[in-house]
């Protein structure tokens, strides 16, 4: 699933436009963003715009974070990012 600080209506429109096969959640009060360290700090790029950090989490069946991927700071290539996550799943991360 994906999460952003956008409204439910904006998330729905974006998901439909992009054809995402997974749900997008709306977190306008940034509760989930704060819990998952996705809120930017003052002075950080995009802070003023209210854009969350780009982070992916691999969550195990017990609900625990197995691995975090800081897409932005690690300059991960989005085209191969999903393949890397799938490889980590297969490896038991």
Per-residue pLDDT of 25-42, as tens digits, reads: 999 999 999 999 999 999
Q: Is the separation of the CB atoms in 58 and 67 below 8 Å? A: yes
The count of domains in the chain is 2
- Domain range enclosing 90: 54-93
**Mean of pLDDT over the chain:** 90
Co-location of 43 and 58 in the same domain: no
| Sign of the dihedral defined by the CA atoms of residues 37, 5, 51, 55, in that order | positive
d(CA 16, CA 89): 27
Co-location of 29 and 42 in the same domain: yes
What pLDDT, on the 0 to 100 scale, is given for residue 70? 87
What pLDDT, on the 0 to 100 scale, is given for residue 71? 83
Place of tokens 């699933």: 1
- Give the pLDDT mean for 51-79: 87
Co-location of 44 and 89 in the same domain: no
Q: Which residues contact 6 (CB under 8 A, 6 or more apart)?
A: 14, 26, 28
């Amino acid at each position: 699933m994906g999460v952003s600080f956008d409204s439910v209506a904006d998330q729905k429109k974006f998901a439909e436009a992009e054809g995402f096969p997974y749900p997008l959640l709306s977190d306008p009060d940034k509760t989930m963003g704060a819990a998952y360290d996705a809120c930017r700090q003052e002075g950080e790029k995009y802070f003023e715009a209210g854009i969350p950090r780009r982070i992916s989490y691999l969550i195990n069946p017990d609900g625990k974070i197995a691995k975090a991927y800081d897409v932005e700071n690690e300059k991960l290539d989005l085209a191969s990012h999903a393949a890397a996550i799938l490889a980590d799943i297969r490896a038991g991360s």
